[in-house]
Structure 1
Amino acid sequence: MKTAVGMAKYNTLALIFADFKEITKVRLAVSVVFSSIAGYFLGAYEINLLSIFLLAFGGYCMVGASNAFNQVIERDLDALMKRTRNRPIPSGRMSVSTAMTIAIILTLLGVITLYLLNPKTSMFGAISIFLYTSVYTPLKTKTPLSVFVGAFPGAIPFMLGWVAATNDFGIEPGTLFMIQFFWQFPHFWALGWMLHEDYERGGFKMLPTGKKDAGTALQIIMYTIWMMVISVIPVFGITGRLTLSIPAAVIILMLGGVMLFYAFKLYAKRDTITAKKLMLASVSYITLVQIIYVIDKFI
């Protein structure tokens, strides 16, 4: 009997934890934390483990809060789409009030934790939540320009780590911001291409032309090229302490070339399979670029 009760409690806790991960989008949150820590390593004169912990915890809280607010706002639309209808709120496993409580607590924890690093880091974290929930989220059903607006909070994490390490915003974190800013367009448009029909069910306008057409594919190519250019600008020695060696720049250009290849292929074929390959290539790109920047600094 005790074993059965114990198992029931374990299963209940496991389900609660699973829903918490879903409401905070744990994979996305972890990738954002990774970007922030990469930015921290680039900016830090010396590594402080407590600062890394505060950045990771505070960053997760801020991203988790944004995602929780987003799912509260979009709960009715999520119920219309195949990929989101089983989320905690539309499925009925979590109430709106519970999700809001989680979002508010995470916001407070995130703001306070990042403030312990320095006020600028906390400010940028708070700005990202505001832009994501109050501007980007409502615009998703109004205009494809929502992707442009959403690119601003999405580009903050990489530069946030630098600000956390230095308590300063200048050319270096600005460059890190621009790298992740331009990367988001081919990434999210590839994702939008893959999920276009599902997004239409929810009324979301995610592709720049509203269609899976040559115009959208051409814009993906253009923004991929801009992303590649911005990603190697530090090699020219014009971005302060943020530098990049020639071998590292060549590798980054080669990685960008993979994305560009799939972007051109998408223009030619205009199919979902190629869009998925481009999306996966973009995920690999931003992760590897951040790793290369960090390794290049320390070798």
Structure 2
Amino acid sequence: MKTAVGSVKSTSWSLIFTDFKEITKAKLAISVVFSSLAGYFLGAYQIEWISLLLLAFGGYCMVGASNAYNQVIEKDLDALMNRTKNRPIPSGRMSVNTAMVVAIALTILGVVALYLLSPKTAMFGAISIFLYTSVYTPLKTKTPLSVFVGAFPGAIPFMLGWVAATDDFGIEPGTLFMIQFFWQFPHFWALGWMLDEDYKRGGFKMLPTGKKDAGTALQIILYTIWMIVISIMPAFGFTGRLHLSIPAAVIVLLSGLVMLFFAFKLYEKRDNVSARRLMLASVTYISLIQVVYVIDKFVN
């Protein structure tokens, strides 16, 4: 009997943990924390492990809170889409009240953790939550410009790490912000292309032209080019303390050209397979260049 009870408790905690990961979108949150830590390493004169832990914890809380608020707001729309109908709220595994408690608790914990790093860091984190939940989320069903608005909070993490390390905002974190800002357009439009039919069930308008057409594919190409240009700018001495060596710049450039190749393939074929390949290439690109930037700083 004790074994059976213990098994039930273990299963119950496992389900709670699984729902917590889903309501906070754990994989996305971890990728955001990765970006923040990369920005911290780039900005720091010396590494302080307590600061790293506060940044990782606070960053996860802020992203998790944004996602929890988002799922509360979109609960009825999530129930209409195949990819979201099994989320904790629309499936009935978690109540709206519980989700709100999680979101508020994560907001408080995140702001406090980031404030301990610096008030500027906490301010940018709070701005990110506000823009994501109060501006981006409501606009998703009204206009494709929601992706443009959503790119602002989405671009904050890479920059946030630098601000956390230096308590300063200048050309360096501004450049990191712009890299991730322009990266988001090909990434999210490729995702929107793949999931267009499902998004339309929920009434979301994610593609810039509203269609999987040449216009959308062309805009993906243009934003990818801008992303590449900004990503290699630190090699030319225009970005303060943020530097790239020539070998590192070549790696970043080649990585960007690979992504651009997949963008052209999408323009050529205009199918979901090409969109998926571009989306995967974009995820690889942003992670790879962040690693390259950090390694380059410490070896040069």
Q: TM-score range by the shorter chain?
A: over 0.9
Structure 1 partner of 2:26? 26
Distance 2:288 2:265 in 1: 22
Distance 2:267 2:21 in 1: 36
Q: Secondary structure at the match of 2:18?
A: helix
Structure 1 partner of 2:243? 243
Distance 2:68 2:202 in 1: 18
Structure 1 partner of 2:13? 13
Distance 1:35 1:228 in 2: 17
**Unaligned stretches of 5+ residues in structure 1:** none
In the TM superposition, residue 238 of structure 1 has moved relative to its aligned partner by 1.0
Distance 1:265 1:30 in 2: 30
What does residue range 114-133 of structure 1 map to in structure 2 within 5 Å?
A: 114-133=114-133
Letter in 2 for 1:287: S
The TM-score normalised by the length of structure 1 is 1.00
Distance 1:274 1:268 in 2: 9
Distance 2:57 2:251 in 1: 32
- Cα offsets for 1:150-202 (capped at 9, x unmatched): 00000000000000000000000000000000000000000000000000000
The TM-score normalised by the length of structure 2 is 0.99
Which consecutive aligned stretches of 4+ in structure 1 deviate over 3 angstroms post-superposition? none
Structure 1 partner of 2:140? 140
Structure 2 partner of 1:193? 193
Distance 2:223 2:85 in 1: 32
Letter in 2 for 1:79: A
What does residue range 152-171 of structure 1 map to in structure 2 within 5 Å?
A: 152-171=152-171
Equivalent pairs, count? 299
Asked if 1:286 corresponds to 2:286, the answer is yes
Distance 1:266 1:173 in 2: 32
Distance 2:30 2:162 in 1: 18
**Unaligned stretches of 5+ residues in structure 2:** none
Structure 2 partner of 1:218? 218
Asked if 1:208 corresponds to 2:208, the answer is yes
In the TM superposition, residue 271 of structure 1 has moved relative to its aligned partner by 0.3
In the TM superposition, residue 294 of structure 1 has moved relative to its aligned partner by 0.1
Distance 1:224 1:92 in 2: 40
Asked if 1:98 corresponds to 2:98, the answer is yes
Structure 2 partner of 1:78? 78
Distance 2:14 2:147 in 1: 34
Asked if 1:276 corresponds to 2:276, the answer is yes
Distance 2:205 2:247 in 1: 40
Distance 2:177 2:98 in 1: 33
- Cα offsets for 1:67-113 (capped at 9, x unmatched): 00000000000000000000000000000000000000000000000
Letter in 2 for 1:268: E
Q: Percent identity?
A: 81
- Cα offsets for 1:211-256 (capped at 9, x unmatched): 0000000000000000000000010101100000111111111000
Structure 2 partner of 1:51? 51
Distance 1:35 1:106 in 2: 19
Q: CA RMSD for the aligned pairs? A: 0.3
Asked if 1:65 corresponds to 2:65, the answer is yes
